Amino acid sequence: MNYLSTRGDATPRRFCDILLEGLAPDGGLYLPEHYPHVDSTMLTHWRNLYAQHGYATLAFEILSLYIDDIPAADLKAICETTYTPEVFGTLEIVPLKSLQPKFYLEGLSNGPTLAFKDMAMQLLGNLFEYELGRRGEQLNILGATSGDTGSAAEYAMRGKQGIRVFMLSPHGRMSAFQQAQMFSLQDPNIHNIAIEGVFDDCQDIVKAVSNDLGFKRRHKIGTVNSINWARLLAQVVYYFAGYFQATRSNAEQVSFAVPSGNFGNICAGHVARMMGLPIRQLVLATNENDVLDEFFRTGVYRVRGSADTHETSSPSMDISKASNFERFVFDLLGRDGARTKALFEDGVAKQGQFDLSQDPAFAQARERFGFVSGKSTHADRLATIRDVYEKFDVMIDTHTADGVKVAREHAQPGEPMIVLETALPIKFAATIVEALGREPDRPPKFDGIEALPRRVRVMPADADGIKRLVVQECG
């Protein structure tokens, strides 16, 4: 399997090359040359394997279709090391919880940092360590987080040989628990930088540094954001796992509802659907930062500046420039790299938007690719958290509440709707208290985490300053 760039660079690259590279040299994102097709016979085989041998075996089967430059025995061992009950706290890894007939939550937040990002980041850490060991190289990971990517990356990479992490986050905009999870880490290979700005400023810095090819190669810069294909690929697995748990035969269709900020989580669902997983609808849920909902309603993709990015009670989705969206646009336009490049370089970068409302391709977003969308507000969040708790005795976090609210608007009678749970409620305790009048449960290992000493530096939103820091820390 070779990989190409969404902006037209078709130089054949293998999985392990793009694993360590992040963005393509032309500024695009990597995708496989084609999506492997999974027919009903293969789905049945995987359904049986999953039932008999569990999540790690299913992960190996799916990853093997995309990774052919790691020996099968090694890849299988990496999957088995990653997806264990010891790491994820449950034998099922991603258990399905029925709220009512045909309406489910898929539990993705059982990992070390209590968020769905662990599902991919734990695998990514093990893949990085394996490949760097094979090459005898080191890697400086530069990442941006709106809340959960940062802690998931740091917990996956702490103590890993040959890896340093430089994680940018928006100063003061994450929940107290999210900040404590990251900033309390004292590992010497972990560097937390709080940027004076919003998440999009952090993400822009990561892209600016990654697009300086000379600096990137001299200092071995890699990424853990969902612009890294390996991370998105790992997320494809739990769509299959959710489907197998919710259905009894491959004749059944399901829909998935996904809280969406940077488009990575739902883009993995798009890949699963392109592979042949029987998904009828991919239901995208945004918060007040509704750039993606606006596109799927109108065909206009209009990014917002820092001043117009709302600070909300589902802060991991406070994003106004969705990096992974480019992958979907590339597929929507028939994999036209030149046109995709023009939309993002000329449209987004220079004009702040592009408009596909009059393009025949826009109708395909719903008709061919199954995307629908909706928006949730703080009031919706509170009402949904209360309703789910009162009716089902289940406490959900703010982002999952956004997903449940929009899922209910698109659910079809008799068809399974699976809402991807994105984090445990303790990560957003203040809003849970506002909604329910009580503190959410806290895993014992996180008792007193907010009071621990912190290791973080505050810096302006300046790519050159971050480059100087990387050089300084790398010696």
Active site amino acids: 117
Taking the CB of residue 311, how many other CB atoms lie within 10 A of it?
Answer: 12
Question: Residue 229 has which token pair?
Answer: 């294909």
Angle of helix 325-332 relative to helix 360-367, nearest 10 degrees, comes to: 110
* Selection from 284, 225, 221 nearest residue 30 by Cα: 225
Question: Residue 371 has which token pair?
Answer: 């995307």
The stretches of 393-446 forming alpha helices (DSSP H) are 398-410, 429-436
Single-letter amino acid, residue 86: E
Single-letter amino acid, residue 196: E
Residue with tokens 């300053």: 465
Angle of helix 40-53 relative to helix 229-246, nearest 10 degrees, comes to: 90
Partners of residue 30 on adjacent β-strands: 5
- Exposed e or buried b for every residue in 240-274, given b needs 16+ CB within 10 A? bbbbbbbbeebeebbbbbbbbbbbbbbbbbbbbbb
Question: Residue 2 has which token pair?
Answer: 């070779």
Counting DSSP H helices and E strands in the chain, the numbers are: 20, 15
- First-to-final CA distance of the chain: 37
| CA separation for the pair 219, 221 (Å, rounded) | 6
CA trace torsion 317, 321, 324, 326 (10° rounding) = 150
| CA separation for the pair 292, 299 (Å, rounded) | 10
Q: Are 436 and 385 in contact (CB under 8 A)?
A: yes
Question: Residue 75 has which token pair?
Answer: 């890849």
